[in-house]
């Protein structure tokens, strides 16, 4: 890994892996420095504080999430298919990470809501997902008894809760159930 990536990218890659796998609070600066194989000054030249490194990690995760979802759902031709791919994407993320869960939820659960910048960033990430889904839900056919905005919000909350459940149970049944439910509601 050393030498192939720029120092900043190497620091961020190591920190991202550690924050996600073992937690922000359990990850120390010295561990990041050792695993990135850098000098302490290199870390602080790129990231003045651990919190700055955390925000860079979350910004990277935000960008990556939407790029990966776009790639993952590229073959979906209809809004309905994109909604279903949203669940499939969550399933793939859980499988790929070994059931580690959503990095944004994990950080807020660990760090709390005391940092308004952190909280606003995590909220913004989730709001962008909602907005994306609302665009799809506006275009699907469903029983007129369903308010599409409420259906979208309910679907999003179900997906969030199911992701947490799959993290705890280490199986995909909750996400599969959300997919079965929404398939019956939207045409």
pLDDT digits (tens, 9 = 90+) for 175-185: 999 999 999 99
Token pair of 25, please? 């609070």
Q: What pLDDT was estimated at residue 96?
A: 94
Task: Flag whether pLDDT at 3 surpasses 50.
Answer: no
φ, ψ of residue 61 in degrees (nearest 5): -60, -40
Report the chain's mean pLDDT, rounded to a whole number: 93
User: Does residue 73 register a pLDDT over 80?
Assistant: yes
> What is the CB neighbour count within 10 angstroms for residue 140?
20
pLDDT at 131 over 70: yes
On whether the CB atoms of residues 88 and 72 are closer than 8 A, the answer is: yes
pLDDT at 4: 61
Residue 132's pLDDT band (boundaries 50, 70, 90)? very high
For residue 142, give the DSSP letter: B
Q: What is the percent of the chain where pLDDT is above 90?
A: 90
**In the predicted model, is pLDDT for residue 54 greater than 90?**
yes
- Locus of tokens 């030249």: 45
CA–CA separation, 110 and 182 (whole Å): 31
**Bridge partner list, 186:** 142
DSSP letter for 138, please: T
Phi and psi torsions of 142, nearest 5°:
-155, 165
The arithmetic mean of pLDDT across residues 42-55, rounded, is 95
Per-residue pLDDT at 145: 65
pLDDT band at 21 (very low <50, low <70, confident <90, very high): very high
User: How far is 168 from 94, CA to CA, in rounded Å?
Assistant: 11
Q: What is the CATH number of domain 58-185?
A: 1.10.357.10
Q: Where are the domains of the chain?
A: 1-48, 58-185
Structure confidence at residue 120 (pLDDT): 96
The yes-or-no verdict on residue 109 having pLDDT over 70 is yes
What is the per-residue pLDDT for 160?
A: 97
Task: Provide the pLDDT for residue 1.
Answer: 44
Helix %, strand %, coil % of the chain (to 5): 75, 0, 25
What pLDDT does 25 receive? 93
For 11, residues 6+ apart whose C-beta sits below 8 A from its C-beta are: 32, 36, 38, 42, 43, 46, 47, 53
CATH-assigned architecture of domain 1-48: Orthogonal Bundle (1.10)
């Amino acid at each position: 890994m050393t030498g192939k990536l720029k120092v900043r990218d190497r620091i961020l890659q190591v920190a991202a892996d550690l924050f996600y796998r073992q937690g922000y609070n359990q990850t120390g600066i010295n561990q990041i420095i050792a695993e990135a194989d850098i000098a302490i000054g290199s870390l602080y030249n790129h990231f003045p504080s651990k919190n700055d490194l955390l925000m860079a990690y979350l910004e990277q995760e935000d960008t990556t999430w939407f790029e990966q979802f776009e790639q993952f759902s590229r073959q979906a031709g209809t809004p309905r298919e994109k909604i279903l791919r949203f669940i499939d994407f969550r399933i793939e993320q859980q499988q790929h990470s070994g059931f580690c869960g959503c990095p944004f939820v994990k950080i807020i659960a660990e760090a709390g809501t005391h940092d308004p910048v952190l909280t606003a960033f995590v909220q913004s990430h989730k709001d962008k997902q909602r907005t994306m889904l609302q665009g799809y839900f506006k275009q699907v056919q469903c029983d007129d008894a369903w308010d599409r905005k409420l259906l979208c919000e309910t679907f999003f909350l179900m997906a969030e809760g199911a992701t947490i459940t799959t993290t705890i149970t280490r199986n995909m049944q909750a996400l599969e159930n959300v997919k079965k439910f929404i398939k019956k509601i939207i045409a």
